Every structure is written in C-alpha cells, then in structure tokens.
Structure 1
Amino acid sequence: MNLDLDKALTSMKDQIAKYCQEKDIDNPVLVGIHSGGVWVANELIDSVKTQEPLATLDITFYRDDFTRAGLNPKVGHTQLPALEDRHVILVDDVLMSGRTIRAAMNEIFDFGRPASISLAILYDLNHRELPIQADIVGEKLTLSADQRVKLSGPDPLTVSIIDTK
C-alpha cells in the first residue's frame, strides 16, 4: 500500500478551512500532539485563520498506560495559551484506539474550559476502543492487525507502513 502524504495533507488543509468557515470558528488555537501531531499541525497552520502560534501538547503523563512496566517515555514540552472559551483544533498523525486523544483532552481541560475541541487527523485507522471520531481526516486506512503507520520527520516529513511482527 502506497500512502500519498501530500494528498492527505492537501485534503486536510481544504477540510480545515471549510470546517472553520461552516462552524464560524475565528482565531482558533491549533494544538499539535507530540511529536507527529506537531509535525502535521506545522503543515496545516497556514490554512487556519489564526493569530495564535502553534501550540504543542505532550500527553506522556496523561496516558492510561504510563505506569505499565517497560514504558520508558520521552517527555516533550507542552506549550498552550489560555484556552478558556477558545476554539481548539487538536491535531495528531494517527487515530487508532482513541486513547491518545482522550489523554490530550484531559490535559487540555487542565488548562481551561475551551468553547470547543475539534479533531484533525492525518490517518484514521478505525480501530476504536473509545467513542472518539475525527472532524477532519486526511485519509482513512484499512490495515491488518500487524501493520502500523509511521510518520517520520519533521524535515522531510515522510510516511510508511511498518509491520509489527
């Protein structure tokens, strides 16, 4: 399976501009989840009408598997403006189980109560464990149980399918 990263990003840019217009969202806060979500958000920021710089979110300590044996996290940096009554567009590279997005929303609410949170995902794998759906999707993929999407970057930004077996 070949993935067309440029096509997926272009689709997201078009969708995000249309979504903000339809929902009458002005000056949203674009938040990328470390690390792939930040890379994707950097590609999208110019298609969003906002005066805010890109915000970043590290969900390491909010993950539900943080205390499991063998987890050796690389802790990044969360950089968020005040979010009270702001529209947030949360960006990540892959949506699979929904657990990363749940953790991200938990952390966002620790910074204030946003007016809304919209979800923009580069690749939706549709293997949900939680009832979380994206508003903006670059591409929906059907992979076997032993395949994953790997985004590498940020410069150059590339994507591949890897086998976990």
Structure 2
Amino acid sequence: MELQHVIMDEIAIRRALTRIAHEILEKNKGIEGCVLVGIRTRGVYLAKRIAERLEEIEGTPVPWGEIDVTQYRDDRSAPSGKNESLGQQLNGQTIQGKKVILCDDVLYTGRTIRAAMDALMDCGRPESIQLAVLADRGHRELPIRADYIGKNVPTSRAEEIEVHLKEFDGVDQVRILQQREDI
C-alpha cells in the first residue's frame, strides 16, 4: 500500500512556473534566441505553460516544441531506427545556434535529460542547453543539474514523485508516494 501526500497544488504549480519564467528572462536577458523544448509527455505541457507566461510578461511569442526521447534512452528497449523526424517533433523549430530551455516534470537520475540532450544534438547544435524542471528529487546517476527548479523535493529511493497536469490528468498537483511498510 502507498501513502500519498500532495506537495504542490494548482496554485503552487502556477507560482513555480511563473517564477521559472522570470528566472529564464533574467538569465537570458530576455527571450531573444530562446526556444523551449518539452520532453514528452508532461514536459510538453510545462514548456507550453512557461512559453505562455513568457509571452504574457514580454509581449512576444516564444517558440516551443516537443521531443520524444524514447529511442535515446539507455535503460529502456526501443524500436530500432528513427520512426519520427525530430524536426516534426520540434514543431518545425530550429535549435541551431539557439538557447534551448529543456523542460521536464521530474529530475531524478538524469538519464532522461541525457537522452534529451542526445536527441537535441541530432537536430543541430544549440548555443546552449538549459534545464527547467517542476520537481527535483535528487539521486542523480549522471552529472546533470537543473538551471530552473519549481521545487526541490529530497526523497528516499522508496518514494516516488507523481506529477499530474490538467491537460493530461485532469488535475494540477504534485504528489509524493511512499511505500508503506507493514509492521
């Protein structure tokens, strides 16, 4: 049986994404030359929401796209060969010479981010890659860190972080799940 605790509700998620948008603007001195890329599935919705906030603040649309990193994962089997053009995944956005802000829901071991960077490099050579995550739970296996973090959530390996977003799950919340030990 699992114990569940909501650590971010809809308001907390909205505030975190607004703060991340402001941090992106500060670090990049605006949005010129920036492209947001969401990692499927929930990272795509986060990238879109951050792009919307950036447009509200700056008054200029921010290009964004999505990427599926399944074929680049080293810990999952995937069909051989590339079955979808990365250019199509990125909604036609070029990343060559751009500041790419990669968006994902949870940063854990770093393997998904490594796979995403490999996929991005197959699309071109960005000026830089920055990372925005809604929750960072620690336990890195690779030397990867986020530039923008909605919430740091120190966890044990027995715990899991679940992100639910309205666009996919019908509700906005981040929950921590812990395996209950029977006494």
Which bin holds the TM-score, normalised by the shorter protein? Answer: 0.7 to 0.9
2:46 matched residue in structure 1: 40
**Match in the other structure for 2:70:** 60
| Residues 25 and 35 of structure 1, relative CA distance in 2, 3 Å threshold | same
Give the length in aligned residue pairs.
156
- Of 8, 12, 20, 2:20 maps to 12
What's the CA shift for 1:133? 0.8
Letter in 2 for 1:9: L
Q: How does 1:86-125 map to 2 (within 5 A)?
A: 86-125=98-137
Q: Deviations over 1:23-49 (max 9, x none)?
A: x65131100000111121122012335
Confirm or deny: 8 A CA contact 2:138 2:155 kept in the other structure: no
Q: Give 2:34's aligned residue.
A: 28
Q: Does residue 79 of the first structure (1) align with residue 90 of the second (2)?
A: yes
Larger RCO (CA under 8 A, 6+ residues apart): 2
Aligned partner letter, 1:38: V
User: Does the residue aligned with 1:128 lie in a helix, a strand or coil?
Assistant: coil
Decide which structure has the larger Cα Rg and report it.
2
Could you give the per-residue CA deviations for residues 112-164 of structure 1, whole angstroms, max 9, x where no partner exists?
01111111111111111000011111111112221111112324432222235
Q: Distance in 1 between matches of 2:100 and 2:17?
A: 19
The Cα of 1:52 is off from its aligned counterpart by 4.7
Once the 2 structures are TM-superposed, how far is the Cα of residue 51 of structure 1 from its aligned partner? 4.1
Instruction: Tell me, in whole angstroms, the C-alpha distance in 1 between the residues paired with 2:100 and 2:109.
Output: 21
Give me the whole-angstrom Cα distance separating, in 2, the residues matched to 1:87 and 1:25: 9
Cα contact 1:27–1:51 (8 A) shared by 2: no
Contact 1:25–1:87 (Cα < 8 Å) also in 2: no
For normalisation by structure 1, the TM-score amounts to 0.83
Kindly indicate whether the alpha-carbon contact (under 8 Å) linking 1:12 and 1:122 is maintained by their aligned counterparts in 2: no
Structure 1 letter corresponding to 2:90: Q
* Cross-structure match for 1:158: 173
Query: Percent of aligned pairs with the same residue?
Result: 37
The match for 1:126 is 138
Distance in 1 (CA, whole Å) between partners of 2:177 and 2:96 is: 39
More helix, by proportion: 2
Deviations 1:38-65 (A, max 9, x none): 1211220123356453200000110002
Instruction: Give unmatched runs, 5+ long, in structure 1.
Output: 69-74
Q: Quote the Cα distance in structure 1 between the aligned partners of 2:34 and 2:21.
A: 14
The RMSD of aligned alpha carbons is: 2.3
